Amino acid sequence: MFSTSFLILLALIIIPILLAMLLVVVIFRRTRRGRRSPLSGNLLRSPGESLRIEIDQISERANDFIFIVLLTCLPPLVVASVLSSVQTNKVPEWQLILDFLFYLALLALVMRRLYQLLKLRANLYLGLDAELAVGQELNHLMAFGCRVFHDFPAEKFNIDHVVVGPAGVFAVETKGRTKPDKGRGSVDATVVYDGQILRFPDWHEQEPLDQARRQADWLQKWLSSAVGTTIPVRPALAIPGWFIERTKPGNVLIFNGKNPNFLARPQGLAGSMTTELQQRVAHQLEQRCRDVAPVAFQKKREGVSFGKR
């Protein structure tokens, strides 16, 4: 059992830390009393909104793990070391060894989980970078009379971008993929699309194409029901940073995020949307996308992870 002096010393280390943290929170809250946000309504979603929320949540969890390590491992070891040097009856070496092994095992478990979180966050950052890059390019389509919505919330998933314009509605899925660095020049940066499969330098993928089709089908059904008339939706897939080599046509539009003007003035696509119908479609999309509360005075930011990455 721990001696009374050990417990007292442990309390002298931990209690000031907790009191200092509590004091900071109290002072911060008092400085914000009697004030509120100047914004009265929700904001539209930005590119990668869901990923940004998930990244924030992972960062908070990672910080929690680091705090656990500092709070549970360091103080007891410091206390044991101090007591061992100042007490007449020193702490037995076997007890110090057991304490050290226990905290070492705890540290290993926490570090393993922390590594997993950091690895997941790095992958999410890649996806966020890709969605931001594509979203910023798509925003240029507004100059051609298009409306662009980002991170459209569907049923347990999100559609990265939705473009509404004279040429129709496009559901744009974005995929961030790292490039191999094997000194093969353009080969390391080219993806071949044969209408069915995406052939990267060292691997093949079909799921992104299937996902783009599923999301376009869902959006078409939802919009047609919401607007009250059939609204065709074309699937598109953006792979930013890659060269796209098309060997055969497919029913999914593939591009690397750059120069998306073809979505505003496509060639060979039947049908067009009247200005009135565009406005009706955009209204339905905006109602669903305008759900981001201003965060300056928000007590707790809540987000949904769709788990689609």
| One-character DSSP codes across 151-205 | EEE-SSSEEEEEEEETTEEEEEEE---PPP-SS-GGGGGEEEE-SS-EE-SS-EE
- Is a pLDDT exceeding 70 seen at residue 12? yes
What is the tens place of the pLDDT at every residue in 186-244?
889 999 999 999 999 999 999 999 999 999 999 999 999 999 999 999 999 999 999 99
Q: Does residue 234 sit within a domain?
A: yes
What is the Cα–Cα distance from 231 to 136, expressed in whole angstroms? 25
Region of poorest pLDDT, from 51-65, 222-236, 291-305: 291-305
Residue type, 221: K
Q: Does residue 198 sit within a domain?
A: yes
Using a cut of 0.85, tell me whether the model's pTM lies above it.
Answer: no
Q: Does residue 75 sit within a domain?
A: no
At residue 141, the pLDDT reads 97
Q: Which residues contact 138 (CB under 8 A, 6 or more apart)?
A: 148, 161, 163, 172, 260, 263
Q: Does residue 6 sit within a domain?
A: no
Tally the domains of the chain: 1
At residue 101, the pLDDT reads 80
At residue 86, the pLDDT reads 55
> What mean pLDDT do residues 54-83 have?
74
What is the Cα–Cα distance from 309 to 123, expressed in whole angstroms? 9
Q: Does residue 14 sit within a domain?
A: no
> What mean pLDDT do residues 6-15 have?
72
For the chain, the farthest-separated pair of C-alpha atoms sits apart, in whole angstroms, at 91
Q: Does residue 295 sit within a domain?
A: no
Among residues 152, 191, 157, which one has the least CA distance to residue 172?
152
Band (pLDDT 50/70/90 cuts) for residue 296 is confident
Its domain, for residue 262, covers 145-289
Band (pLDDT 50/70/90 cuts) for residue 111 is confident
State the helix-helix crossing angle for 207-227 and 275-289, rounded to 10 degrees.
110
At residue 307, the pLDDT reads 46
Q: Does residue 223 sit within a domain?
A: yes
